[in-house]
Each structure stands twice: as structure tokens, then as C-alpha cells.
Amino acid sequence: MTSLWSSTERKALDTAEILSEHLGLAIKIRADLGENDRSATGYLPSEAFERTADRFFADPDLSADGWKTARAEQERIVTACAAVTESDPMGVPLVVSHGAVGALLLANLLGEAISRDFDQPRNGGGNWFSVREMKPAWKVFDRC
């Protein structure tokens, strides 16, 4: 790894701090690496959150209860990751972000339609995927 990037959100920063100590890399922060905007609803109990997330992924061009659309959020995370890659063109950047935007990025990398099929397993977090080639086509190398 040659650079370490994180969203501004606490859970991502906590992970980035652990990685920073282990890898000896300074953390570079980008707000556009953040989780999808769910501020319209705020915290939702688990069952209500899962129903809303299902709708978010099922119809990417419509807002689910005021959330930003999945299509808009996918565009944001793809653009943010492209900027990270461009800032470290010969290196291997490590990006710490969030589940839903990771699913949107993964669908884009695979050339697939937005779908919750690419969402992280419901295992409490700590999931990842790595990309071996960013240009000309992004190819997924591994996923956990």
C-alpha cells in the first residue's frame, strides 16, 4: 500500500487509524468517500433500515424515504475512487469507506446493474474487496 484514504465518518476513521499505525501511512481524508446520504430518515431500527435499503438498491433512480438515490451515490463513490487512483497513479491506494457505497462501487467495477447482491454480508462489518487493475478497466481481484 502506498496511500491510505478514509471518509470523514468515525467508523471509517477508526479503521484507518489502525491501518495507519500498522502500515506507517498517513491518513488522507475525503468526505466523498462517505456512506450514502440517509439524513432524511436518520437512525432507523434494523427492520425498517433493511426495508429502506432494499428499496434503495431495487430502484436506483428513485429516492427511498428521502435518501439520495443509489445512482447518484454510485456516481459520487466512483468519482471519488477515480480521484484517489489519479492522485497515486503508480501506487496501491487503500480506501476505507462503507458498506452501501462499497456495494455501489463493486457493481460498477464489475459492469453490473446496481443491486443489493453486491452489498456486504450481514456479519457486523469489516468486509473488503481488492481491485487489481484500475485502468483501462477496473477488475475485482478478491472479495471477503
Task: Kindly report the CATH number assigned to the domain that includes residue 30.
Answer: 3.40.50.1240
User: How many domains is the chain built from?
Assistant: 1
Average pLDDT, integer, range 80-103:
91
C-alpha span between 14 and 27 (Å, rounded): 11
pLDDT higher than threshold 90 for residue 141: no
Full domain range(s) for residue 36: 3-143
pTM for the model: 0.88
C-alpha cell at 26: 498517513
Query: Would you say 88 and 58 are in contact if contact means Cβ atoms under 8 Å apart?
Result: no
Q: Please name the residues in contact with 137: beta carbons below 8 A apart, sequence gap of 6 or more.
A: none
Rounded Cα–Cα distance for residues 52 and 67 (Å)? 9
Upper half-sphere CA count for residue 142 (Cβ side, 13 Å): 4
Query: 134 falls in which pLDDT band (50, 70, 90)?
Result: low
